[in-house]
Amino acid sequence: MRYSFVHTSHHVRPYLHKVKLKFDVFRHVRTFSTADKPTVVEESTKTHPSTNVCTFSLDKRQCFDDMVEFRKKQARSSVVVQVGNPLKSAALVNQVCSRHGNVSNLFHYTHKDKELLLLEFDSELSAVNLLASCSHNNNVKVIPAASPFLWLKAMPSESSASMSARFPLIMNEDNLANDNLEELLSNAKSISEQMIILEDQTRLSEIGHRLRWITCVQIERMLSGLFPSLQVLPFGSFVNGCGRNGCDLDMAVSLDGHCGMEPLEVKSPLIFQAKAAINNPRLQTQRHIEVFADILQNFTTGCTQVQRILQARVPIVKFYHEFTGVDCDLSMGSLTGVFMSELLYLYDKIDWRFRPLVTAVRHWGAWARLTDMVPGPRITNFTLTLMVVFFLQRRSPAILPTLSEMIKLARPQVDTRQTNDVDCTFLRDPAMFQERGKLNQESLEDLFVEFLRFIESFDFNERSVSIITGTALRKFDSKPLYVQNPLERELNVGRNVNLKELTRVVMEARNALYILETQEDQGPANWGLLALPRAERVRRLNPKSSHHNHVPQIDMKDLFSTDTDDEIDDFIEAKVSKGDVFLQTRSPFTAAHSQTKPSATETRPASGLNTLNGFIKQVQLNTGLAVNKSPKNLPLKSEKNRKPIEKQKRK
């Protein structure tokens, strides 16, 4: 998807460039919103696309609810118009729309060979008046439903020529935002700077934000005909500050519109007549979701590939929006996902280092193939994010407050939230904790290295991760990984992670830690984050899919060893008793450098070995891991061990 941006005013002089939200690293000032009067750029001015950035000045200390209201108002004031040629059609679209109000911003993007313009008016009333003046195509049988997605019909060639003559030449940016990411990371002066560049170059663009909010507003308008007070609230990485290019859109429906807050006192003695709800709340939710799915599939413009997943723990509807290019999930019932996103949003506002650190950890997990977009036994980005929060709470001095601290400081009425008998009350003003960051001046590089050391040495056998108290409590079940859900406290968000995948997480942390601690051995191109295992994937990083299924690297000579399984087991047990067993995850990086320098597992003792007691035999059967007995990898010996590898390789 190509993105570009046009500054407009009463006399439109547009220019197009990639939209990227920037923030001043040294002053720690993040910019989000556009100025009231957009700057007019002269046609003769030559500027680099990355130097003229659309900024949107929301207060850095803004609360989550204020941000949501601002973005929704922005979306309600916007429309999307499909055109044939944006160079020739932009002037006509602007002229037509200007009859109903001033167009404050104009974006251009391309999706699946569709050329689309996103126009933002300076008021919601202008967008309403424009939609009221639109009509449907009478030549084709269509569902006559109104939506903010329009198309511009063909116009006379004379009119087109006269309109385009008033416009300067519009330049399009065809390159993806991270085409030169590897070069930028290589030229950085420190790992801290690499982490800032990585976060800045991969974050969700401004037009990506706008398209998702327009989708939310469209769904809200379609469903509000049945429920006038209904609200559609987005949650997940899109709104918590950790959204990447290509991220999906998760939405929760609140029928009463209270969003977990206590309803206002009703002054009128008149109330609505209404049907009684079913006694079974889950069945009632499933019926609502099924009706919503029918509306999306049959009447909502742009919604395709509608799937009903009603038997999940939280029933959802999945669909794809063909005009915004976004995969969407719509759920109903509990708003804990929204409040969890609000909590992470507040943590991002409390300390500026939170977002770059989470971004680096998530990319490390993707490069090492620890995470996957398909649900399964691998660790999720949400679990990794909670572990980062837990780690920052345990720094000395602490960088982020615990949830229990925020609950104690919560203001009555203002911060009180409750959904489905789950108390989601905590302090919602980030300004109360922003002075805390001045007490801890650790760099991003130090925090990233210490986080890897935390993963390597944490006792996952006996302890759990909880951001409620910031302490490692005893586990509440027998799952290999226990990360407590901070809002629904009886749930373990890491319950899907099996023993094999947890072992891989620890081993990859150990390998990355070793590589970062031996930077002097790396070449000028492969240093810092680029030296991490499989970081060469950054060269072909695709914003739509940052994860791929992992096929373990297999050494062919390992398949033809003559040792028996019993000999291998005896050798491992002997090494374990001596305490000199080393574990590693094979990677293209370590394989490529095995002849030039010793690997992490040949020279670095396993300081976190106590965490892995009892895991050795499972690790041996894990085809993604290798167990070393010498400078050479211990080969896989028998037909019994070879069959699962060949089967996985065929897959």
Neighbour-count burial of 328, counting CB atoms closer than 10 A to its CB (0-12 exposed, 13-18 middle, 19+ buried): buried
Residue whose C-alpha is closest to residue 530's, from 485, 472, 588: 588
pLDDT score for 62: 75
Three-state DSSP state, 110: strand
Is the per-residue pLDDT at 285 higher than 60?
yes
pTM equals 0.74
DSSP calls for 32-57: -S--SSPPPPPTT----TTTS-----
Q: At what angle do helices 444-457 and 381-393 cross, to 10 degrees?
A: 100
Q: How many Cα atoms sit within 13 Å of 102 on the Cβ side?
A: 12
pLDDT of residue 373: 84
Report angle CA 135, 139, 140 to the nearest 5 degrees. 90
- Long-range contacts for 154-157 (Cβ within 8 Å, ≥24 apart)? 154/84, 155/92
Residue 526 has pLDDT above 70, yes or no: yes
Percent of the chain, pLDDT > 70?
67
Task: Return the H-helix or E-strand segment holding 100.
Answer: none
Contact (Cβ atoms closer than 8 angstroms) between residue 437 and residue 351? yes
Using N-to-C axis directions, what is the helix angle for 206-223 and 64-76, rounded to 10°? 80
Contact status, residue 231 vs residue 220, Cβ threshold 8 Å: yes
Q: Are 193 and 185 in contact (CB under 8 A)?
A: no
CA 650 to chain CA centroid, nearest Å: 32
Q: What is the mean pLDDT of residues 121-148?
A: 88
Print the SS3 string covering 194-218. HHHHHHHHHECCHHHHHHHHHHHHH
Q: Is the dihedral of CA 636, 640, 643, 644 positive or negative?
A: negative
Average the pLDDT over 555-581 and give the result: 45
User: How many alpha carbons fall within 13 Å on the CB side of residue 321?
Assistant: 26
Q: CB of 529 within 8 A of CB of 191?
A: yes
Residue pLDDT, tens place only, 394-449:
999 999 999 999 999 999 888 889 888 888 999 998 888 877 778 899 999 999 99
Q: What is the pLDDT of residues 451-483, one digit of tens each?
A: 999 999 999 999 999 999 999 999 988 899 999
Rounded-to-integer distance, Cα 212 and Cα 206, Å: 10
Average pLDDT value for residue range 378-392: 96
Burial of 164 (0-12, 13-18, 19+ CB in 10 A): middle
Are 8 and 104 within 8 A, CB to CB? yes
Kindly state the DSSP code that residue 6 receives in the 8-state scheme: E
Average pLDDT of the chain, as a whole number: 75
Tens of pLDDT, residue by residue over 9-62, are 333 333 233 333 333 332 233 333 333 333 322 223 333 333 333 444 455 557
* Pairwise CA distance, residues 89 & 116, whole Å: 10
pLDDT at 528 over 50: yes
Please give the single-letter amino acid code of residue 195. Answer: M
Amino acid at 385: T
Would you say 585 and 370 are in contact if contact means Cβ atoms under 8 Å apart?
A: no
**In this structure, what token pair is assigned to residue 46?**
């030559």
φ and ψ at residue 441, rounded to 5 degrees: -110, 25
pLDDT in tens, 588-638: 333 334 333 333 333 343 444 444 444 444 444 544 444 443 333 333 333
Rg (CA), the chain: 27
Main-chain phi, psi angles of 348, to 5 degrees: -65, -35
527 contact partners, CB below 8 Å, separation of at least 6: 186, 519
Cβ(285)–Cβ(331) below 8 Å? no
Q: How far apart are the first and last CA of the chain?
A: 31
For residues 626 and 628, give the distance between their C-alpha atoms in angstroms, rounded to a whole number: 6
| Rounded Cα gap, residues 86 and 109, in angstroms | 9
| DSSP string for residues in 505-536 | HHHHHHHHHHHHHTGGGS-SSS-GGGGSTTGG
- Do 107 and 19 meet the contact criterion of CB atoms below 8 Å apart? yes
Residue 510, pLDDT > 90, answer yes
At 566, the pLDDT band (50, 70, 90 cuts) reads: low
Residues facing 118 on adjacent strands:
80, 107
Helix (H, G, I), strand (E, B) or coil at 474: strand
Residue whose token pair is 């939506």: 147
How far is Cα 87 from Cα 232, in angstroms, rounded to an integer?
A: 35
Angle at 311 between CA 308 and CA 314, to 5 degrees: 85
- Tokens standing for residue 645: 């590898």
Average pLDDT over residues 282-291: 94
Measured CA to CA, the distance from residue 10 to residue 377 in angstroms comes to: 56
Q: Which long-range contacts (CB under 8 A, 24 or more apart) does 490-498 make?
A: 493/380, 493/382, 493/383, 493/386, 494/379, 494/383, 494/465, 496/375, 496/376, 496/377, 496/378, 496/380, 497/377, 497/378, 497/379, 497/383, 498/377
Q: Over the stretch 150-196, which tens digit does the pLDDT of each residue have?
A: 988 866 554 444 444 333 233 333 334 456 888 888 889 999 999 99
Sequence-separated (6 or more) residues with CB below 8 Å from residue 632: none
Nearest to 250 by CA among 219, 229, 281: 219
Output the six-digit token pair for 349. 């506002």
Q: What CA–CA distance (Å, rounded) separates 120 from 76?
A: 9
